[in-house]
Amino acid sequence: MLTRELLGRRIAEQREKAGLTQAQLAKAIGLERTAISRIEQGRQGLDTLQLTAIADALGKAPLVFFEPVDEEPIQVLLRAQEAAHDDVRPHLEWLRDLIDDYEFLLELTGEVPA
């Protein structure tokens, strides 16, 4: 499900890929930089006209914000609110490193997991 937070992250990712700052994007579409910040944080909603203006300013079709994104489960876990806790974060990072090492070894040996 697409939430305001996820939409905001996708807007931020596309803005960064386009090489624009929040201030530059805001100026291009006639909003304050703080509004772009709130949108990217998922704290402020936006209407279809604003979303279309953002997409145009980034040189993208608005659908880019709605395309499914295959994301590694560990990345989802690392973004979870609980991952910020000092007692959880190191374990998640250790798990991510373990997975990365496992995938590297599979590539090295040419094996494909079942």
List the pLDDT tens digit at each of the 114 positions of the chain: 788 999 999 999 999 999 999 999 999 999 999 999 999 999 999 999 999 999 999 999 999 998 876 666 667 676 676 667 777 778 888 888 888 888 888 888 887 665
- Asked whether 113 and 106 are in contact (CB, 8 A), the reply is yes
- For the question of whether the overall pTM of this predicted structure is more than 0.75, the answer is no
| pLDDT at residue number 69 | 66
Q: What is the Cα–Cα distance from 42 to 56, expressed in whole angstroms?
A: 20
